[in-house]
A and B are shown apart, each in its own frame.
Chain A
């Protein structure tokens, strides 16, 4: 398959923290590709290196070695490529969903989504219209003006998902998105992510340690001791 067909391409990615005797290899020689519309999980216990892998793909953590290509743009090859505008790439191509919703407490649900759009240079009116549409699609039309403190955990996480989707990113990265939710809400969020992957044709990469939450994912990468230890592919092709 042509490499430009992938939303995410990671080739022999290694991240080492520290130097000399104190150096710690968090992830080593990780190689994976994710296609647009594909829902992929990185599964592993705490400290296995899955979040380091996610943050390197998310242009937050500079890889020590290896290559990272996002939507056909090479961003890292033995470190960040010179002149690469990481912020712009994060803004335009990536969407983030966090373990805790990380909504801005002093902004309403609507404004939390709008802020991502305005940062990407949309006008206030356009941002408001798109944010309202997104929240309504996620059944939050009645919660537009509520502050995060007035939202339930599930609602807040859906607002966070709306914010991640706001700029129609090619890649959505989710770091333990269900960790702060009960099982039912967690499953709902995962189900929402699955449908979004299909509808928006976005590559969704979810990091989790919870086996129960990855049901129905297209592929699952098992990470252990800083290495990708195995890969499972869902045979039903959902």
Chain B
């Protein structure tokens, strides 16, 4: 006969309520682990789906995910010519927040070369971008429909396709446009600004008496072309041929001035160690605190439950029960509570994690490790009750 199960069966209302409470707490611990893994997954999403070997960014910067990085678009040709490089494609990144249906819509806009790589990894509905202008593919997380239009910069863009769960390192859903459109959205000035700039350049050149009118006109045109140019990108990504030496390619690009070639390993480190380190530590701390709280709660529950059973324990001892029967009863109750609470917590998160605003990644290893920790906590927590039970004298069964 299993005394632990019999006691639980008799006091099932109290046991279930306690387990649910503890389960909710463990659910929070599970979700924190999921958020932690989600932070990693989000941070590395674009890095992973781009499948590039090298990210060429502005010199002395950590690249577009960490800070501003601006390099000329045409550097792609030079990179492509480096031995070992088979593909090079420019990419543009910017975070945009607009009003949509009276609500803020924040997303991460990726501009990619339609003839290169770095575009949507998969098309779930509709099609990929075919025209050079005014078409966009959005992540399903943006909850937009095909055919829907939004205004970005100076123009309207039509959603032509839906891609999967692509997010920025801060968890914002991604949208894709052509590189030319992304450059226009990021850098193109409106007509008034262009007119003002041209007037200012013209006036400054007119003040130079040594310039002839023809020279002034020529200079004005060239300066305006340069200042109005949008052919700037945030990074050029490159893929290497099989067997190509990454370090050699990096070293070669490093020798050029103004550029920094970042390997995937380095980019991963920048994204994970630098950008989400504090969030990771914060979540880790919360998890530890919650586990300590769970341990204290389990200890208290088991201890008070043992106090409630002092007479039962004394009676069992009096009729000759071995200590292992009593220890087993307390330990099994503690473990059962842990198992049930863990199950409730897991089920809760399993059924709801898709609805969380941020990505929750439930990894088998994390879940198994947490289960082992919960079981260890249950064993340790039951020591308080077991200690009390072992001190109970059989004589306590006598009298009123």
Using a CB–CB distance below 8 Å, which chain A residues touch chain B?
51, 55, 58, 60-61, 87-92, 94, 96, 98-100, 102, 104-107, 111, 114-116, 118-120, 124, 127, 147, 163, 175, 179-180
Contact = CB atoms under 8 A, between A and B. Distances in A.
B274 interface: no
8 contacts: A55-B395, A91-B321, A98-B398, A99-B400, A106-B6, A111-B6, A114-B1, A163-B319
Contacts of A147: 10
B124 interface: no
A104 B320 contact: no
Contacts, number: 80
Nearest to B311: A102
Interface residues of B, number: 25
Contacts of A51: 398-399
A157 to B, nearest CB: 14
Given A102-B311, A115-B3, A91 B395 contact: no
Contacts of A100: 400
Nearest to A58: B318
Contact of B395 (A61, A163, A180): A61
Given A99-B399, A118-B1, A124-B1, A91 B10 contact: no
Interface of B: 1, 3, 6-7, 9-11, 311-312, 315-322, 325, 393-395, 397-400
A87 B398 contact: no
Given A104-B315, A106-B7, A111-B6, A90 B397 contact: no
Contacts of A96: 318-319, 397
Given A115-B1, A115-B3, A91 B398 contact: no
Contacts of B6: 106-107, 111
A91 B319 contact: yes
Contacts of A106: 3, 6-7, 9-11, 312
B398 A88 contact: no
A94 B320 CA distance: 9
A51 B394 CA distance: 13
Pairs A-B, 6 closest by C-beta atoms? A91-B320, A106-B10, A90-B320, A106-B7, A102-B315, A119-B321
B320 A87 contact: yes
A55 to B, nearest CB: 6
A106 B309 CA distance: 10
Nearest to B321: A119
Nearest to A107: B6
